[in-house]
Structure formats: C-alpha cells, structure tokens
Structure 1
C-alpha cells in the first residue's frame, strides 16, 4: 500500500514543521507521516547526509508520494536538488510540492515531455540556490549593521517571520499575485509589497533583529 510522506526541513527558530504540515493539509494532501530535519541547512548539507533525509531514501518505495512545501526544502544546491528528484523518480516515487502543486514522476516516456519536466526541475533548483545566495548576502549585511555598534538602530521589528518571508519570496518567484500571497501568509498587502520591492532590506531587517535578540 502506498503512503504519502511530508518532508519538512526546519532551519531557523521561527520555522515549524507543524506550519508546513498545516499548509500541506490545507492544500488537500492526506499526510500519512511527517519526517523532519530540525536545524539543518539546505545549503551546506545535502539531503542524503541529513539524519532524516537518509531515512527518506530507506522508507520510500515505488508508488509512494513525497510531499515538500517547495523544492528548497530538499535543498538549496542546484546539483543536489536535481539529482535528488531524479533519484526518487528512478525509484518510482512521486515528488509533489505544496506551493503550486508541482508533480514530478517518471511516468512519461515521451521525450518532449521528459525534456520539459527536466528543464523545469533544473529551473526550480537553480532558483532555490539563487535565492539562498541572495538571502545569505542580505543576512550578512544585516548582521554587520547590528554588530557595528552595541546601540545600533535596528528599526521597527519585522511584522513577518522567516518562514513567512520564504513563503512570500517563493510565491513571488512563481508569479503569484500580491493579494493571493497576503491571504495565504496572513500578512498585509502592504507588507508583501514591501518585501517585493526591497527583498534585501526584508532579509536584513530579520537579521538585525535576530542578532539583537541574541545579544540581549
């Protein structure tokens, strides 16, 4: 009997696997089991080397469905993400995303459809890596600002969490409208617009407050 497994990678304190499961179930997925890697970077640690990531390769069988919020939960390295999805497809596992309900499987044998599928996988993996690199740079800028002076002005506390910011950035990259993003994330349209217009500052603001909280 096939199973549907949700894999959640939680890399920061304000991310939760419960939130990712809630999103999946709201999107119509009937999750049989949740597998979570907590506090693991998707940039420096490939899926097969994560404690629960290794478990996925052991537990998933042909016909099973692997659900992830977005491909960046599998990783933020182009080569790792593309190879991971292809390996699961070779094993007969269907990979599905909560955001935009993407479906990747090895069912098609038509060369044109295969080429389109593989190109899409490559594009999404490249986007995940590019977003990770942009995030790292913005975080570094925020941390440098916060560490510059003990009384460094951090500005107003961000009205969004790390997880909400990632949800907004992912949806924007897929062309989702501001109103739809606001409704899905619980943020105001004005907040989504600010993130859209200046994503680097949004990242830096979170970083400044993270550093400040640790120093407090």
Structure 2
C-alpha cells in the first residue's frame, strides 16, 4: 500500500516540526508518517547524508508520495536538490510541496509536461540556493558590522536569540506570513518585520549582545 510521508528539516525547536505537519494537513495532505532531521544544514549536507534522510531513502517505495513544505527542506544546493528529486521520481516516488502545491511525478510522459516539470524543479532548486546564499551574506555583514560597533553603544537588546532568528529566517525563506511567523517564534509582528527588512542588522544586534 502506498504511503504519504512528510519530511521536515528543522533548525531549532520541535514547534517548527508540528507547524510543518499542521500546515501540510491544512493543505489537504493525509500524512501517514513524519520523518525529520533536526539541526542539520541544508547547504552542506545532502539529504541522503543526514541521519533521518538516509532512513527516508530506505523507506520510500514506488507509489509513495513524499511531502515537503518546500524544496529547501530537501536541500539548499542546486545540484543536490535537482539530483534528489530526479532520483526519487525515477524510483516511482511522487514529490509534492505544501507551498505552491507543486507536484513532481516521474510518470509524466507528455514531453511538454516533462519540460515544464523539469524547468520548475530547476527554478525552485536555484531559488533555494540563492536564499541560502543571501542568508549567509547577511550573517557575514552583520558580524562585520558588530565588530566595528563593539566600543559603541549597543542599542536595545534584541527580543530574539539565535534560535528565534534562525526560525524566522527559515519560515521567511519558505514563504511564511508575518503573523504566522510571529506566532511560531513567539515574537511581535514588528520584530519579524524588522528582521525581514534588515537581516544583516538583526545579525549585528545578536553579535553586539554576544547572543550569537
């Protein structure tokens, strides 16, 4: 019997895992099992090299559906994400995303549909990598700014720590709304909006207060 398996990669607390399942079920998915990796980088660690990612590959069979919040849960490296999705499709696994409701099915035989499918895979994988690179650049800029401000007034202590900042960035990258993110991170909407508008400044504030 085919199964629907939700894979989640979460950076911080269990609340992000429950959120991803709730979001998937609200989108109409009937989840049979959840597989999750915690605190694993999507940039440097391939899906099959993650502890639960390896188990996921062993579990999936032809006819199963793999559900992910967005393709960045599979990784943030273009070559890795595209290779992973293609391998799963070749094995007869259908990959579906909660955000945007995308379906990648290797059983597609129409050449036009195949071309559209493959173009979408490439575009979404490239977007995931671009978002990861933007986050890294913001972190570098924030650290450099903080180094120059060490002897200056540190300003107001941020209402968030590393865990909350990573969660906000993760959900922003996945297309989450401001109110939704604020609830999950237990922050005000204004704080989330400030982080969104100035990620480098958010990093700098953490560094100035030795919270990073």
- Residue 167 of structure 2 is matched in structure 1 by 163
Find the aligned partners of 2:152 and 2:169 in 1 and give their Cα distance. 26
Is 181-190 or 95-104 further displaced after alignment? 181-190
**Map 1:73-88 → 2, pairs under 5 A:** 73-88=73-88
In 2, are the aligned partners of 1:146 and 1:153 still within 8 Å (CA)? no
The 1:65/1:213 distance shift into structure 2, 3 A limit, reads farther
1:193: how far off? 6.2
- Residue 106 of structure 1 is matched in structure 2 by 106
The 1:2/1:138 distance shift into structure 2, 3 A limit, reads same
**Map 1:11-90 → 2, pairs under 5 A:** 11-12=11-12, 16-90=16-90
- Residue 91 of structure 1 is matched in structure 2 by 91
User: What are the superposed Cα offsets for residues 113-143 of structure 1, whole Å, 9 maximum, x if unpaired?
Assistant: 1011001000000000011001001012223
1:202 is the counterpart of 2:206 = no
**Map 1:115-134 → 2, pairs under 5 A:** 115-134=115-134
The 1:17/1:207 distance shift into structure 2, 3 A limit, reads farther
Over the aligned positions, Cα root-mean-square deviation in angstroms equals: 2.9
Structure 2 portions without partners, runs of 5+:
none
What is the aligned length? 204
In 1, are the aligned partners of 2:138 and 2:203 still within 8 Å (CA)? no
- Residue 5 of structure 2 is matched in structure 1 by 5
The 1:150/1:17 distance shift into structure 2, 3 A limit, reads farther
Find the aligned partners of 1:118 and 1:203 in 2 and give their Cα distance. 34
Task: Give the 3-state SS of the residue equivalent to 2:76 in structure 1.
Answer: coil
Find the aligned partners of 2:165 and 2:30 in 1 and give their Cα distance. 26
Find the aligned partners of 2:41 and 2:141 in 1 and give their Cα distance. 19
**TM-score, normalised via structure 2 length:** 0.82
Is 13-22 or 121-130 further displaced after alignment? 13-22
1:26: how far off? 1.9
Find the aligned partners of 1:22 and 1:212 in 2 and give their Cα distance. 35
Task: Give the 3-state SS of the residue equivalent to 2:175 in structure 1.
Answer: helix
Task: Give the 3-state SS of the residue equivalent to 1:171 in structure 2.
Answer: coil
Find the aligned partners of 2:169 and 2:14 in 1 and give their Cα distance. 11
Structure 1 portions without partners, runs of 5+:
173-180
**TM-score, normalised via structure 1 length:** 0.80
